[in-house]
Chains A and B, each alone.
Chain A
Amino acid sequence: MFANFDFDVIVRSLPYMFYVGMTFTLTLTVAATVGGILVGTALALTRLSGFRLLALPATGYVNLMRSVPLVLMIFWFYFLVPYIGQWLTGAAAPIQVGPNWSSVITFTLFEAAYFSEIMRAGIQSIPRGQVAAAQALGMTYPTVMGYIVLPQAFRNMVPVLLTQTIILFQDTSLVYVLSITDFLGAASKVAQRDGRLVEMYLFAAIVYFIISLAASRGVRALQQRIAVIR
Protein backbone atom coordinates (compact mmCIF):
# COMPACT_ATOMS: atom_id res chain seq x y z
CA MET A 1 0.00 0.00 0.00
CA PHE A 2 2.76 2.46 0.95
CA ALA A 3 5.37 0.45 -0.95
CA ASN A 4 6.19 3.13 -3.52
CA PHE A 5 5.53 6.01 -1.19
CA ASP A 6 7.96 8.83 -1.97
CA PHE A 7 8.73 10.84 1.15
CA ASP A 8 11.45 12.70 -0.68
CA VAL A 9 8.98 14.66 -2.80
CA ILE A 10 7.50 16.08 0.41
CA VAL A 11 10.90 17.00 1.84
CA ARG A 12 12.00 18.58 -1.43
CA SER A 13 8.93 20.79 -1.68
CA LEU A 14 8.74 21.78 2.00
CA PRO A 15 10.26 25.27 1.49
CA TYR A 16 7.92 25.98 -1.43
CA MET A 17 4.84 24.76 0.41
CA PHE A 18 5.53 26.67 3.60
CA TYR A 19 7.36 29.84 2.48
CA VAL A 20 5.08 30.46 -0.49
CA GLY A 21 1.93 28.49 0.22
CA MET A 22 1.45 28.62 3.97
CA THR A 23 2.51 32.27 4.09
CA PHE A 24 -0.30 33.17 1.72
CA THR A 25 -2.81 30.97 3.57
CA LEU A 26 -1.97 32.57 6.92
CA THR A 27 -1.85 36.12 5.48
CA LEU A 28 -5.27 35.60 3.92
CA THR A 29 -6.62 34.12 7.18
CA VAL A 30 -5.36 37.02 9.30
CA ALA A 31 -6.36 39.73 6.83
CA ALA A 32 -9.85 38.31 6.37
CA THR A 33 -10.30 37.82 10.13
CA VAL A 34 -9.29 41.39 11.01
CA GLY A 35 -11.17 42.89 8.08
CA GLY A 36 -14.14 40.61 8.60
CA ILE A 37 -14.46 41.48 12.29
CA LEU A 38 -14.27 45.23 11.52
CA VAL A 39 -16.82 45.10 8.70
CA GLY A 40 -18.89 42.56 10.63
CA THR A 41 -19.05 44.77 13.72
CA ALA A 42 -20.12 47.71 11.55
CA LEU A 43 -22.83 45.51 9.99
CA ALA A 44 -24.00 44.34 13.41
CA LEU A 45 -24.17 47.92 14.74
CA THR A 46 -26.10 48.94 11.63
CA ARG A 47 -28.57 46.11 12.09
CA LEU A 48 -29.10 47.02 15.75
CA SER A 49 -29.17 50.78 15.17
CA GLY A 50 -32.94 50.99 14.93
CA PHE A 51 -32.83 52.93 11.65
CA ARG A 52 -34.78 50.67 9.31
CA LEU A 53 -33.37 52.38 6.25
CA LEU A 54 -29.88 51.24 7.30
CA ALA A 55 -30.80 47.99 9.05
CA LEU A 56 -32.70 46.43 6.14
CA PRO A 57 -29.84 46.55 3.59
CA ALA A 58 -27.41 45.24 6.22
CA THR A 59 -29.77 42.35 7.05
CA GLY A 60 -30.23 41.64 3.36
CA TYR A 61 -26.48 41.60 2.81
CA VAL A 62 -25.84 39.21 5.69
CA ASN A 63 -28.62 36.85 4.61
CA LEU A 64 -27.48 36.94 0.99
CA MET A 65 -23.87 36.07 1.90
CA ARG A 66 -25.02 33.29 4.18
CA SER A 67 -27.28 31.62 1.64
CA VAL A 68 -24.84 31.19 -1.25
CA PRO A 69 -21.76 28.93 -1.41
CA LEU A 70 -18.37 30.49 -0.77
CA VAL A 71 -17.09 29.08 -4.08
CA LEU A 72 -19.77 30.99 -5.97
CA MET A 73 -18.89 34.17 -4.06
CA ILE A 74 -15.20 33.73 -4.89
CA PHE A 75 -16.14 33.68 -8.59
CA TRP A 76 -18.56 36.59 -8.14
CA PHE A 77 -15.98 38.86 -6.57
CA TYR A 78 -13.23 37.76 -8.92
CA PHE A 79 -15.23 39.23 -11.81
CA LEU A 80 -17.05 41.97 -9.90
CA VAL A 81 -14.17 43.63 -8.02
CA PRO A 82 -12.52 45.09 -11.19
CA TYR A 83 -15.81 46.81 -12.08
CA ILE A 84 -16.31 48.11 -8.53
CA GLY A 85 -12.75 49.44 -8.59
CA GLN A 86 -13.43 51.18 -11.87
CA TRP A 87 -16.62 52.67 -10.49
CA LEU A 88 -14.89 53.87 -7.32
CA THR A 89 -11.88 55.42 -9.03
CA GLY A 90 -13.62 56.57 -12.18
CA ALA A 91 -11.04 54.78 -14.33
CA ALA A 92 -11.68 54.23 -18.01
CA ALA A 93 -11.43 50.43 -17.91
CA PRO A 94 -12.09 47.75 -15.24
CA ILE A 95 -9.20 47.72 -12.78
CA GLN A 96 -7.14 44.52 -12.75
CA VAL A 97 -6.68 43.44 -9.13
CA GLY A 98 -5.37 39.91 -9.63
CA PRO A 99 -6.56 36.78 -7.87
CA ASN A 100 -4.61 37.35 -4.62
CA TRP A 101 -6.19 40.71 -3.79
CA SER A 102 -9.50 39.54 -5.12
CA SER A 103 -9.45 36.62 -2.68
CA VAL A 104 -8.58 38.89 0.26
CA ILE A 105 -11.52 41.16 -0.57
CA THR A 106 -13.81 38.17 -1.10
CA PHE A 107 -12.98 36.50 2.21
CA THR A 108 -13.20 39.79 4.13
CA LEU A 109 -16.63 40.63 2.77
CA PHE A 110 -17.92 37.05 2.92
CA GLU A 111 -16.74 36.31 6.45
CA ALA A 112 -17.98 39.74 7.57
CA ALA A 113 -21.51 38.32 7.31
CA TYR A 114 -20.64 35.46 9.68
CA PHE A 115 -18.64 37.69 12.04
CA SER A 116 -21.52 40.17 12.12
CA GLU A 117 -23.87 37.45 13.39
CA ILE A 118 -21.38 36.63 16.15
CA MET A 119 -20.92 40.28 17.10
CA ARG A 120 -24.68 40.83 17.03
CA ALA A 121 -25.13 38.01 19.52
CA GLY A 122 -22.32 39.50 21.62
CA ILE A 123 -23.84 42.97 21.63
CA GLN A 124 -27.27 41.60 22.48
CA SER A 125 -25.80 39.64 25.39
CA ILE A 126 -24.94 42.92 27.17
CA PRO A 127 -27.75 43.80 29.61
CA ARG A 128 -29.88 46.69 28.39
CA GLY A 129 -29.52 48.36 31.75
CA GLN A 130 -25.87 49.10 31.01
CA VAL A 131 -26.77 51.03 27.88
CA ALA A 132 -29.55 52.85 29.70
CA ALA A 133 -27.24 53.71 32.59
CA ALA A 134 -24.52 54.99 30.25
CA GLN A 135 -27.02 57.13 28.39
CA ALA A 136 -28.40 58.44 31.68
CA LEU A 137 -24.85 59.51 32.55
CA GLY A 138 -24.90 61.64 29.42
CA MET A 139 -22.72 59.46 27.16
CA THR A 140 -23.24 59.78 23.43
CA TYR A 141 -23.88 56.76 21.19
CA PRO A 142 -20.22 56.39 20.07
CA THR A 143 -19.04 56.60 23.67
CA VAL A 144 -21.58 54.03 24.87
CA MET A 145 -20.62 51.63 22.12
CA GLY A 146 -16.88 52.27 22.18
CA TYR A 147 -16.34 52.21 25.93
CA ILE A 148 -19.19 50.13 27.37
CA VAL A 149 -20.82 47.71 24.94
CA LEU A 150 -18.28 46.70 22.30
CA PRO A 151 -15.33 45.91 24.62
CA GLN A 152 -17.52 43.53 26.63
CA ALA A 153 -19.25 42.08 23.58
CA PHE A 154 -15.93 41.45 21.90
CA ARG A 155 -14.45 39.87 24.99
CA ASN A 156 -17.43 37.58 25.50
CA MET A 157 -17.28 36.46 21.90
CA VAL A 158 -13.51 35.90 21.60
CA PRO A 159 -13.80 32.08 21.69
CA VAL A 160 -16.56 32.07 19.05
CA LEU A 161 -14.64 34.55 16.88
CA LEU A 162 -11.54 32.36 17.09
CA THR A 163 -13.53 29.24 16.23
CA GLN A 164 -14.87 31.07 13.19
CA THR A 165 -11.26 31.94 12.33
CA ILE A 166 -10.34 28.24 12.35
CA ILE A 167 -13.23 27.59 9.96
CA LEU A 168 -11.98 30.52 7.87
CA PHE A 169 -8.47 29.03 7.87
CA GLN A 170 -9.87 25.79 6.46
CA ASP A 171 -12.07 27.65 3.96
CA THR A 172 -9.11 29.54 2.51
CA SER A 173 -8.18 26.29 0.73
CA LEU A 174 -11.07 27.11 -1.64
CA VAL A 175 -8.95 29.79 -3.35
CA TYR A 176 -7.73 26.71 -5.24
CA VAL A 177 -10.50 27.52 -7.76
CA LEU A 178 -8.62 30.72 -8.70
CA SER A 179 -5.34 28.74 -9.08
CA ILE A 180 -3.75 30.73 -6.25
CA THR A 181 -0.65 29.25 -4.62
CA ASP A 182 -1.93 28.90 -1.07
CA PHE A 183 -0.84 25.88 0.98
CA LEU A 184 -3.13 23.45 -0.82
CA GLY A 185 -2.42 25.15 -4.14
CA ALA A 186 1.33 24.67 -3.62
CA ALA A 187 0.85 21.03 -2.63
CA SER A 188 -1.41 20.49 -5.61
CA LYS A 189 1.03 22.08 -8.06
CA VAL A 190 3.89 19.88 -6.86
CA ALA A 191 1.56 16.87 -6.87
CA GLN A 192 0.60 17.41 -10.49
CA ARG A 193 4.12 18.27 -11.63
CA ASP A 194 5.70 15.19 -10.07
CA GLY A 195 2.72 12.86 -10.37
CA ARG A 196 2.72 12.39 -6.60
CA LEU A 197 -0.93 13.08 -5.72
CA VAL A 198 -1.09 10.54 -2.90
CA GLU A 199 1.90 11.85 -0.95
CA MET A 200 1.15 15.55 -1.40
CA TYR A 201 -2.56 15.47 -0.62
CA LEU A 202 -2.05 13.22 2.40
CA PHE A 203 0.68 15.53 3.67
CA ALA A 204 -1.52 18.61 3.12
CA ALA A 205 -4.37 16.92 5.00
CA ILE A 206 -2.09 16.09 7.93
CA VAL A 207 -0.77 19.67 8.14
CA TYR A 208 -4.26 21.17 8.04
CA PHE A 209 -5.39 18.63 10.63
CA ILE A 210 -2.56 19.38 13.05
CA ILE A 211 -2.94 23.16 12.80
CA SER A 212 -6.72 23.12 13.15
CA LEU A 213 -6.67 20.63 16.00
CA ALA A 214 -4.01 22.57 17.90
CA ALA A 215 -5.88 25.82 17.32
CA SER A 216 -9.20 24.41 18.51
CA ARG A 217 -7.53 22.94 21.61
CA GLY A 218 -6.04 26.39 22.26
CA VAL A 219 -9.44 28.04 21.91
CA ARG A 220 -10.94 25.54 24.35
CA ALA A 221 -8.23 26.28 26.91
CA LEU A 222 -8.73 30.02 26.44
CA GLN A 223 -12.48 29.61 26.82
CA GLN A 224 -12.01 27.93 30.19
CA ARG A 225 -9.69 30.69 31.39
CA ILE A 226 -12.11 33.40 30.35
CA ALA A 227 -14.99 31.52 31.93
CA VAL A 228 -13.14 31.49 35.26
CA ILE A 229 -12.39 35.21 35.18
CA ARG A 230 -16.00 36.24 34.55
Chain B
Amino acid sequence: MNYHWNWGILFELSPDGGHTYLQTLLLGACWTLATALAAWVMALALGSLIGVLRTVPVGWLARFAAGYVELFRNIPLLVQMFLWYFVVPELVPRAIGTWLKQVPDASFYTAVVALGFYTSARVAEQVRAGITSLPRGQRLASLALGLTLPQAYRYVLLPMAYRIILPPLTSEFLNVIKNSAVALTIGLMELTARARAMQEFSFQVFEAFTAATVIYILINIAVTFAMRRVERKVAVPGYIGAQPRAVAR
Protein backbone atom coordinates (compact mmCIF):
# COMPACT_ATOMS: atom_id res chain seq x y z
CA MET B 1 0.00 0.00 0.00
CA ASN B 2 1.41 3.35 -0.96
CA TYR B 3 -0.97 5.38 1.16
CA HIS B 4 0.65 7.96 3.39
CA TRP B 5 -0.82 7.78 6.85
CA ASN B 6 -0.81 11.01 8.80
CA TRP B 7 -2.84 10.85 11.97
CA GLY B 8 -1.50 14.24 12.99
CA ILE B 9 -3.88 15.73 10.43
CA LEU B 10 -6.68 15.46 12.99
CA PHE B 11 -4.99 18.14 15.09
CA GLU B 12 -4.15 20.46 12.23
CA LEU B 13 -6.17 23.56 11.50
CA SER B 14 -9.07 23.00 9.08
CA PRO B 15 -9.89 25.51 6.29
CA ASP B 16 -12.62 27.12 8.42
CA GLY B 17 -9.75 28.80 10.26
CA GLY B 18 -10.98 28.37 13.81
CA HIS B 19 -11.07 24.66 14.46
CA THR B 20 -8.84 21.64 14.06
CA TYR B 21 -10.14 18.81 11.84
CA LEU B 22 -10.99 16.77 14.92
CA GLN B 23 -13.05 19.66 16.29
CA THR B 24 -14.98 19.97 13.02
CA LEU B 25 -15.78 16.25 13.22
CA LEU B 26 -17.00 16.63 16.80
CA LEU B 27 -19.14 19.60 15.75
CA GLY B 28 -20.57 17.32 13.08
CA ALA B 29 -21.29 14.70 15.73
CA CYS B 30 -23.24 17.36 17.65
CA TRP B 31 -25.36 18.06 14.56
CA THR B 32 -25.88 14.33 14.10
CA LEU B 33 -27.06 13.99 17.69
CA ALA B 34 -29.23 17.12 17.56
CA THR B 35 -30.92 15.92 14.36
CA ALA B 36 -31.37 12.40 15.66
CA LEU B 37 -32.75 13.51 19.04
CA ALA B 38 -35.21 16.02 17.58
CA ALA B 39 -36.38 13.49 14.98
CA TRP B 40 -36.66 10.83 17.68
CA VAL B 41 -38.91 12.98 19.86
CA MET B 42 -41.14 13.60 16.85
CA ALA B 43 -41.08 9.94 15.79
CA LEU B 44 -41.90 8.71 19.27
CA ALA B 45 -44.88 11.06 19.65
CA LEU B 46 -46.29 10.50 16.15
CA GLY B 47 -45.42 6.81 16.11
CA SER B 48 -47.14 6.17 19.43
CA LEU B 49 -50.27 7.93 18.20
CA ILE B 50 -50.34 6.02 14.91
CA GLY B 51 -49.47 2.74 16.62
CA VAL B 52 -52.36 3.19 19.05
CA LEU B 53 -54.71 4.12 16.20
CA ARG B 54 -53.81 0.88 14.42
CA THR B 55 -55.17 -1.09 17.36
CA VAL B 56 -58.31 0.89 18.20
CA PRO B 57 -61.65 -0.76 17.38
CA VAL B 58 -62.62 2.04 14.98
CA GLY B 59 -62.39 0.85 11.38
CA TRP B 60 -61.55 4.04 9.51
CA LEU B 61 -59.00 5.20 12.10
CA ALA B 62 -57.18 1.86 11.94
CA ARG B 63 -57.19 2.01 8.12
CA PHE B 64 -55.88 5.56 8.13
CA ALA B 65 -53.04 4.52 10.43
CA ALA B 66 -52.24 1.48 8.27
CA GLY B 67 -52.08 3.70 5.19
CA TYR B 68 -49.81 6.16 7.02
CA VAL B 69 -47.38 3.38 7.89
CA GLU B 70 -47.35 1.99 4.34
CA LEU B 71 -46.79 5.46 2.88
CA PHE B 72 -43.74 6.29 4.98
CA ARG B 73 -42.27 2.77 4.97
CA ASN B 74 -42.32 2.17 1.24
CA ILE B 75 -40.53 5.29 0.01
CA PRO B 76 -36.74 5.43 0.44
CA LEU B 77 -35.58 7.89 3.10
CA LEU B 78 -33.44 9.76 0.57
CA VAL B 79 -36.46 10.31 -1.70
CA GLN B 80 -38.50 11.50 1.28
CA MET B 81 -35.76 13.98 2.18
CA PHE B 82 -35.83 15.32 -1.39
CA LEU B 83 -39.63 15.57 -1.29
CA TRP B 84 -39.56 17.62 1.92
CA TYR B 85 -36.64 19.76 0.77
CA PHE B 86 -37.34 20.39 -2.92
CA VAL B 87 -40.98 19.53 -3.56
CA VAL B 88 -43.02 20.61 -0.53
CA PRO B 89 -41.95 24.31 -0.71
CA GLU B 90 -43.21 24.36 -4.32
CA LEU B 91 -46.56 22.75 -3.57
CA VAL B 92 -47.63 24.97 -0.66
CA PRO B 93 -48.97 28.49 -1.31
CA ARG B 94 -46.29 30.76 -2.72
CA ALA B 95 -45.84 32.97 0.36
CA ILE B 96 -45.29 29.99 2.66
CA GLY B 97 -42.99 28.38 0.08
CA THR B 98 -40.82 31.50 -0.13
CA TRP B 99 -40.63 31.65 3.65
CA LEU B 100 -39.73 27.95 3.84
CA LYS B 101 -36.84 28.43 1.44
CA GLN B 102 -35.43 31.29 3.50
CA VAL B 103 -35.51 29.69 6.93
CA PRO B 104 -31.97 29.61 8.35
CA ASP B 105 -30.69 26.03 8.88
CA ALA B 106 -33.43 24.81 6.54
CA SER B 107 -31.57 21.55 5.90
CA PHE B 108 -31.57 20.80 9.64
CA TYR B 109 -35.32 21.34 10.04
CA THR B 110 -36.05 19.42 6.83
CA ALA B 111 -33.88 16.54 7.99
CA VAL B 112 -35.68 16.44 11.33
CA VAL B 113 -39.12 16.44 9.70
CA ALA B 114 -38.18 13.82 7.09
CA LEU B 115 -36.45 11.55 9.61
CA GLY B 116 -39.26 12.09 12.11
CA PHE B 117 -42.01 10.99 9.73
CA TYR B 118 -39.90 8.14 8.31
CA THR B 119 -39.08 6.79 11.76
CA SER B 120 -42.57 7.36 13.14
CA ALA B 121 -43.92 4.67 10.79
CA ARG B 122 -41.39 2.21 12.18
CA VAL B 123 -42.11 3.22 15.78
CA ALA B 124 -45.82 2.83 15.06
CA GLU B 125 -45.24 -0.78 14.00
CA GLN B 126 -43.31 -1.47 17.20
CA VAL B 127 -46.00 0.15 19.36
CA ARG B 128 -48.68 -1.87 17.61
CA ALA B 129 -46.64 -5.06 18.09
CA GLY B 130 -46.26 -4.23 21.78
CA ILE B 131 -49.98 -3.63 22.26
CA THR B 132 -51.06 -6.74 20.34
CA SER B 133 -48.56 -8.87 22.27
CA LEU B 134 -50.46 -8.13 25.50
CA PRO B 135 -53.04 -10.71 26.54
CA ARG B 136 -56.46 -9.78 25.16
CA GLY B 137 -57.86 -10.01 28.70
CA GLN B 138 -56.03 -6.88 29.79
CA ARG B 139 -58.00 -4.66 27.43
CA LEU B 140 -61.27 -6.44 28.20
CA ALA B 141 -60.71 -6.35 31.94
CA SER B 142 -59.87 -2.65 31.99
CA LEU B 143 -62.95 -1.81 29.91
CA ALA B 144 -65.10 -4.05 32.12
CA LEU B 145 -63.82 -2.16 35.17
CA GLY B 146 -65.31 0.98 33.67
CA LEU B 147 -62.22 2.64 32.22
CA THR B 148 -62.87 4.53 29.01
CA LEU B 149 -60.89 3.41 25.97
CA PRO B 150 -58.34 6.26 26.28
CA GLN B 151 -57.94 5.45 29.98
CA ALA B 152 -57.41 1.77 29.19
CA TYR B 153 -54.60 2.73 26.83
CA ARG B 154 -53.12 5.32 29.16
CA TYR B 155 -53.09 3.32 32.39
CA VAL B 156 -53.11 -0.34 31.37
CA LEU B 157 -52.02 -1.10 27.81
CA LEU B 158 -49.36 1.46 26.94
CA PRO B 159 -47.28 1.25 30.15
CA MET B 160 -46.83 -2.48 29.56
CA ALA B 161 -46.45 -2.19 25.77
CA TYR B 162 -43.64 0.38 26.03
CA ARG B 163 -41.70 -1.84 28.41
CA ILE B 164 -42.03 -4.80 26.05
CA ILE B 165 -40.83 -2.89 23.00
CA LEU B 166 -37.97 -1.09 24.72
CA PRO B 167 -35.24 -3.26 23.08
CA PRO B 168 -36.55 -2.80 19.49
CA LEU B 169 -37.09 0.89 20.22
CA THR B 170 -33.43 1.11 21.21
CA SER B 171 -32.34 -0.27 17.84
CA GLU B 172 -34.79 2.11 16.16
CA PHE B 173 -33.11 4.99 17.99
CA LEU B 174 -29.71 3.74 16.81
CA ASN B 175 -31.18 3.66 13.31
CA VAL B 176 -32.22 7.31 13.55
CA ILE B 177 -28.66 8.26 14.45
CA LYS B 178 -27.32 6.30 11.48
CA ASN B 179 -30.04 7.48 9.10
CA SER B 180 -29.31 11.13 9.93
CA ALA B 181 -26.24 10.70 7.69
CA VAL B 182 -28.61 10.72 4.70
CA ALA B 183 -29.22 14.40 5.45
CA LEU B 184 -25.82 15.22 3.97
CA THR B 185 -27.54 15.03 0.58
CA ILE B 186 -29.57 18.13 1.44
CA GLY B 187 -26.55 19.93 2.83
CA LEU B 188 -26.67 19.23 6.55
CA MET B 189 -23.09 19.29 7.87
CA GLU B 190 -23.41 16.30 10.17
CA LEU B 191 -20.67 13.81 11.04
CA THR B 192 -20.44 11.92 7.73
CA ALA B 193 -20.58 15.16 5.73
CA ARG B 194 -17.77 16.61 7.86
CA ALA B 195 -15.66 13.49 7.35
CA ARG B 196 -16.24 13.81 3.61
CA ALA B 197 -15.31 17.51 3.73
CA MET B 198 -12.16 16.72 5.71
CA GLN B 199 -11.23 14.10 3.10
CA GLU B 200 -11.70 16.61 0.31
CA PHE B 201 -9.64 19.34 1.94
CA SER B 202 -6.84 17.25 3.42
CA PHE B 203 -6.71 14.20 1.10
CA GLN B 204 -6.33 12.05 4.23
CA VAL B 205 -9.24 9.76 3.30
CA PHE B 206 -8.83 6.95 5.76
CA GLU B 207 -7.96 9.08 8.79
CA ALA B 208 -11.14 11.10 8.24
CA PHE B 209 -13.41 8.07 7.81
CA THR B 210 -11.76 6.13 10.63
CA ALA B 211 -12.32 9.02 13.02
CA ALA B 212 -15.96 9.30 11.96
CA THR B 213 -16.44 5.53 12.30
CA VAL B 214 -14.96 5.56 15.80
CA ILE B 215 -17.26 8.42 16.83
CA TYR B 216 -20.31 6.54 15.49
CA ILE B 217 -19.26 3.40 17.38
CA LEU B 218 -18.78 5.37 20.61
CA ILE B 219 -22.25 6.95 20.25
CA ASN B 220 -23.65 3.48 19.58
CA ILE B 221 -22.04 1.99 22.69
CA ALA B 222 -23.17 4.91 24.85
CA VAL B 223 -26.79 4.64 23.69
CA THR B 224 -26.87 0.85 24.09
CA PHE B 225 -25.40 1.14 27.58
CA ALA B 226 -27.84 3.88 28.63
CA MET B 227 -30.85 1.97 27.28
CA ARG B 228 -29.83 -1.18 29.18
CA ARG B 229 -29.94 0.88 32.35
CA VAL B 230 -33.34 2.29 31.44
CA GLU B 231 -34.62 -1.22 30.75
CA ARG B 232 -33.49 -2.39 34.16
CA LYS B 233 -34.92 0.67 35.84
CA VAL B 234 -38.43 0.43 34.38
CA ALA B 235 -38.72 -3.36 34.53
CA VAL B 236 -41.86 -4.54 36.33
CA PRO B 237 -40.76 -7.02 39.01
CA GLY B 238 -41.96 -10.53 38.29
CA TYR B 239 -43.48 -9.70 34.94
CA ILE B 240 -41.03 -8.80 32.21
CA GLY B 241 -38.13 -8.15 34.57
CA ALA B 242 -34.81 -8.81 32.90
CA GLN B 243 -36.42 -11.45 30.72
CA PRO B 244 -36.36 -10.14 27.12
CA ARG B 245 -32.66 -9.92 26.43
CA ALA B 246 -31.86 -6.71 24.61
CA VAL B 247 -31.18 -7.38 20.95
CA ALA B 248 -30.17 -3.77 20.85
CA ARG B 249 -27.84 -3.80 17.88
Contact = CB atoms under 8 A, between A and B. Distances in A.
Contact of A69 (B2, B82, B181): B181
A86 B209 CA distance: 20
Contacts of A93: 2
Contact of B78 (A64, A80, A184): A184
B58 interface: no
For the residues of B in contact with A, the DSSP-based class is helix
A63 interface: yes
Given A67-B174, A173-B79, A72 B86 contact: no
A213 B87 contact: no
A70 interface: yes
B1 A72 contact: no
Interface in B11-39: none
A36 B180 CA distance: 24
A16 interface: no
Interface stretch (B44-52, B67-75, B142-150, B235-243): B67-75
A198 B87 contact: yes
A208 B213 contact: no
A130 B71 CA distance: 43
A188 B85 CA distance: 13
A70 B213 CA distance: 11
Contacts of B179: 69
A162 interface: no
A79 interface: yes
B9 interface: no
B99 interface: no
A101 to B, nearest CB: 18
Interface of A: 1, 63-64, 66-72, 75-76, 79-80, 83, 86-87, 93-94, 170-171, 173-174, 176-177, 184, 188, 197-198, 201-202, 204-205, 208-209, 212-213, 216
29 contacts: A63-B249, A66-B249, A67-B174, A67-B217, A67-B249, A68-B213, A69-B181, A69-B216, A70-B181, A71-B181, A71-B184, A72-B181, A72-B216, A75-B196, A76-B213, A79-B199, A87-B1, A173-B76, A173-B78, A184-B76, A184-B78, A198-B87, A201-B83, A201-B87, A205-B75, A208-B75, A209-B75, A212-B74, A212-B75
